[in-house]
Amino acid sequence: MAWAVLQFPGSNCDADALKAVRATTSVTCDFHWHAEPILLGQYQVIILPGGFSFGDYLRTGAIAKLSPAVKSLPAAIEAGAHVLGICNGFQILLEARLLPGVLKVNHHLRFVSKNAECVIEDEAFPWFRLADKGNILKMPIAHGYGNFQAPKMDLKESSAVLKYRDNPNGSVDSIAGIYRRMGAGSVMGLMPHPERASFQDLQLNDGACFWQNAESNLR
């Protein structure tokens, strides 16, 4: 069971994600540099971490989507990989059109950094089980462009699996995370940071369910 955390120039949550996975599971997880394509069957789980890929100089995620690792994601997902994009990772998945919609500037035009409560709306293999539906997860958010917008027609093949209890950024229907099945694999993107909520020492470990559920469900 091999997992990977993609690294881009400007990633700043990559080490957090790697540490969270290693601390809460027994899987093998390592960094994967963005310039190296991902081979079919190389990883079961691929995490795109938060940060400011390539400095976000053009547009959040617009340069990262051209990286060989991201270009190889569709084939890897179709073959069975499960991808999780967190914050900037979510933005990259949207730019790569692996998920529908866009992330705009927060409706109040301010950067928001706080803990947010999110409700699990549906199962999303391997991250959420049906039994998790209705559970509330408390996780940090930290973003200026987290206002998710998508026309309903774009969500036909995807589902809103995570919603804010108190919408912090103006996202349509209070959506905090969306999920899509692709072939034998899947793609999920979310703005909250589960890797920053995976340690009991921080008195904030609701995010550990992501890694533990995935490990259990993919055995």
Report the SS3 class of residue 100: coil
Q: Strands of the chain (E only): list them.
A: 2-7, 28-33, 45-48, 82-86, 102-104, 112-120, 136-143, 147-149, 159-164, 175-182, 185-190
How far apart CA 9 and CA 179 sit, in angstroms, is 26
User: Catalytic: 117?
Assistant: no
Q: Which two tokens stand for residue 199?
A: 């340690």
User: Looking at this protein, which amino acid is placed at residue 82?
Assistant: H
How far apart CA 173 and CA 160 sit, in angstroms, is 9
Catalytic residue among 32, 193, 209, 215: 193
DSSP 8-state class, residue 135: -
Q: Which two tokens stand for residue 115?
A: 């803990």
DSSP 8-state class, residue 63: T
Q: Which two tokens stand for residue 71?
A: 């270009």
Kindly report whether the peptide bond that precedes residue 194 is cis, defined as omega within 30 degrees of 0. no
Q: Measure the CA angle with vertex 39, ends 8 and 27; round to 5°.
A: 75
Catalytic residue among 87, 95, 121, 143: 87
Catalytic residue among 95, 121, 195, 215: 195
User: Catalytic: 87?
Assistant: yes
CB count in 10 Å sphere of residue 55: 10
Indicate which residues carry an active-site annotation.
Answer: 87, 193, 195
